[in-house]
Structure 1
């Protein structure tokens, strides 16, 4: 049994639940559930309407859109010893994506192009799938409307 706070809210289409204790967090939306361990999480924060958990490589372990109140999420995670930040600690590292922009790993530009098309066509599932694929390249993506911003994880940064 998961001891800790369980928060529920009605989102636009599906029920969102976050359950957290001292060792793990479970994020559930509809029939999809993810579990993230405390030991693999470096920081937790809210970015707009997204709950975000980052790993040791500065990669996104989870990004879950919800209408849950940020103050209740912060309280739940803090009470169980999770490292909470009031904002994205890497906010200044993001760069706006434009086609052909240098600095991306090989292949990432094509994925960002495909993701941009998915965003513009309101194909959310496809955009989420492409976000996951970009993560394999060490690229973290955040959106502002239909604009994409990106940064590299620690291991994807060029040496120096």
Structure 2
């Protein structure tokens, strides 16, 4: 996952669309220069003066290259999930996580995130991004025997809005949450994910809504997080 067919559509379709746009560009330029007034009239007439064959070939090549660049960007942001009877691996941009089947107690979708819980209710994975469609994703986990919960997070009601200095959290957890709040504000998803993992080691699960953070105690590190 994502399905091979979806990736083929992106890698073939985007360059073809780019090529088509390049081929049509000369007609668009020619039409624009016939208008009584048009912005950039000088550059447009300069483009129109290029020999038709050379212009069409150049525009199509540029369109194909632009399509390939867009396909590469789309592919980079797509979350790639491989599931079998022994393990599940999740790759997104430069990060990769792999978990043995025995470590996963529950899998579900929480809004736009795939969440995998461990046997102590700790969040092993909370992956956002361009995920596969919900139904094929659920079917893939279920086909390999992973417990899947269609109703979403069973611990959702346990999450509380984070307030700096809350006495139920350790100073270390507050420090990570402050740093994570700054990362979310800047849109630094990679740093936010690293800080989420550090909080998980302290026994704190964290999720966000519109850059607001919500937390709950989870896992064997929970007692340490409360001290």
Q: With structure 2 as the length reference, what TM-score do the two structures score?
A: 0.62
Give the direction of change, closer, same or farther, for the CA distance of 1:40–1:123 in structure 2 (3 Å limit).
same
Aligned to 2:116: 53
* CA RMSD after TM alignment: 2.1
Cα contact 2:107–2:114 (8 A) shared by 1: yes
Range with greater deviation from structure 2 (73-82 or 31-40) = 31-40
Q: Name the CA distance, whole Å, in 1 between partners of 2:184 and 2:93.
A: 21
Counterpart secondary structure, 2:213: strand
Give the direction of change, closer, same or farther, for the CA distance of 1:31–1:51 in structure 2 (3 Å limit).
same
Aligned to 2:192: 127
Comparing both structures, which one devotes a greater share of its residues to strand? 1
Q: Say whether 1:145 aligns with 2:210.
A: yes
The one of 140, 143, 155 aligned to 1:90: 155
**What pairs up with 1:1-160 in 2 under 5 angstroms?**
6-8=1-3, 14-65=77-128, 66-86=130-150, 87-155=152-220, 156-157=222-223
Structure 1, unmatched stretches of 5+, are 1-5
Q: Name the CA distance, whole Å, in 2 between partners of 1:13 and 1:36.
A: 21
Aligned to 1:3: none
Cα contact 2:107–2:146 (8 A) shared by 1: yes
Give the direction of change, closer, same or farther, for the CA distance of 1:105–1:12 in structure 2 (3 Å limit).
farther
Comparing both structures, which one devotes a greater share of its residues to helix? 2
Pick the structure with greater CA Rg: 2
Structure 2, unmatched stretches of 5+, are 8-73
Counterpart secondary structure, 1:7: coil
Give the direction of change, closer, same or farther, for the CA distance of 1:56–1:102 in structure 2 (3 Å limit).
same
Quote the offset at 1:157 in angstroms.
4.8
Quote the offset at 1:31 in angstroms.
3.8
Structure 1 stretches of 4+ with a deviation exceeding 4 A read 8-13
